[in-house]
Amino acid sequence: MTITITAFEQSPDRGKGLARDMRVRWALEEAGQPYDVRLLSFKAMKEPAHLALQPFGQIPTYEDGDLVLFESGAIAFHIAERHGGLLPDDANARARAIAWMFAALNTVEPPIFDRSLVRILERDEPWYEQRLRALDGTIRNRLADLSRHLGDADWLDGAFSAGDLLIVTVLLRLKASSDMLDDYPNLTAYIARAEARPAYKRAFEAQLAVFKAASAV
Ligand SMILES: N[C@@H](CCC(=O)N[C@@H](CS)C(=O)NCC(=O)O)C(=O)O
């Protein structure tokens, strides 16, 4: 039974790999698992057939036999649990890698994602500059803490893990719309190291191919 995931038929990021199916593609590539992709329009994402898989009408989803999952972090965790390569065997190291997965989604992603929404949706609001400044302050604190923790290491806690995978996807969203990361050379080198992984490259090319094909029609 082949794993099937869902992704945007035409990603708003124009194939920059920022949509959350990228995390799932990357995790599957790291785990060496083949997968099919079902592409969805914005309309189809809100229809009953997809809402039965994803209660919020979003991508990505993951189907493997009887199992249907939503939430990119939960999907990445499931892939990491089921297949090797994304979580350490040692119980304590595994727990710490999982903590980094939560940190990515709970601590680092919220201000970065809010910033991207505010820049699109609140540009004309009277509070825009103030809100952006507040979010930028929070993000800079997160980056400083991440940078200090990473230091000269290649990855956040020993070998590359699903924690690094999620943190990097979050940082890439920031990198696409801000130069804030330039102040942290160890973080930019960390992102480059992740982007150089063959599994990342395969996942990136696969999602870009979808965008190019849709744009060529
Ligand atoms: N927390 C969810 C967020 C999913 C999400 O926001 N997906 C976006 C694409 S990256 C989406 O489907 N947006 C369209 C919409 O919300 O209508 C996850 O990580 O899977």
Domain identity same for 35 and 105? no
Average pLDDT over residues 38-62: 98
Specify the residue for token string 């969203």: 173
Span from the CA of 157 to the centroid of ligand 1 (angstroms): 28
pLDDT of residue 133: 97
Average pLDDT over residues 16-41: 98
Q: Is the shortest distance between the CB of 169 and ligand 1 below 6 Å?
A: no
Q: Is the shortest distance between the CB of 20 and ligand 1 below 6 Å?
A: yes
Span from the CA of 202 to the centroid of ligand 1 (angstroms): 22
CA nearest neighbour of 145 among 95, 92, 193, 184: 184
Mean pLDDT of all residues belonging to the chain: 97
β-bridge partners, 40: 8
Span from the CA of 148 to the centroid of ligand 1 (angstroms): 30
Q: Is the shortest distance between the CB of 6 and ligand 1 below 6 Å?
A: no
Kindly state the tokens that stand for 208.
Answer: 């870009």
Q: Is the shortest distance between the CB of 162 and ligand 1 below 6 Å?
A: no
Domain identity same for 155 and 126? yes
Span from the CA of 59 to the centroid of ligand 1 (angstroms): 5
The enclosing domain of 36 has a CATH number of: 3.40.30.10
Percent above pLDDT 70 for the chain? 100
pLDDT of residue 179: 96
Percent above pLDDT 90 for the chain? 97
Task: Give dist(CA 84, CA 215) in Å, integer.
Answer: 36
Confidence of residue 217 (pLDDT cuts 50, 70, 90): confident
Q: Is the shortest distance between the CB of 110 and ligand 1 below 6 Å?
A: no
Domain identity same for 103 and 162? yes
- The 10 Å Cβ neighbour count of residue 12 is 11
Domain identity same for 153 and 208? no
Q: Is the shortest distance between the CB of 59 and ligand 1 below 6 Å?
A: yes
Domain identity same for 122 and 51? no
Q: Is the shortest distance between the CB of 13 and ligand 1 below 6 Å?
A: no
- Tally of structural domains, the chain: 2
The enclosing domain of 177 has a CATH number of: 1.20.1050.10
Domain identity same for 165 and 127? yes
pLDDT of residue 55 exceeding 80: yes
Average pLDDT over residues 89-112: 98
Domain identity same for 167 and 75? no
Residue type at position 143: L
- The 10 Å Cβ neighbour count of residue 144 is 13
Domain identity same for 166 and 80? no
DSSP string, 43-77: HHHTSHHHHTT-TTS-S-EEEETTEEEESHHHHHH
Average pLDDT over residues 73-81: 98
pLDDT of residue 1 exceeding 90: no
For residue 88, cis peptide bond before it (omega within 30 degrees of 0): no
Q: Is the shortest distance between the CB of 19 and ligand 1 below 6 Å?
A: yes
Domain identity same for 143 and 174? yes
Closest atom, ligand 1, to C-alpha of 60: 20
Is residue 7 helix, strand or coil? strand
pTM for this one? 0.97
Confidence of residue 114 (pLDDT cuts 50, 70, 90): very high
pLDDT of residue 216: 86
pLDDT of residue 57: 98
Question: Which residue's alpha carbon is at the smallest distance from atom 20 of ligand 1?
Answer: 71
Residue 186 lies in domain: 91-195
Task: Give dist(CA 140, CA 144) in Å, integer.
Answer: 6
| pLDDT (tens digit per residue) in 169-201 | 999 999 999 999 999 999 999 999 999 999 999
pLDDT of residue 52: 98
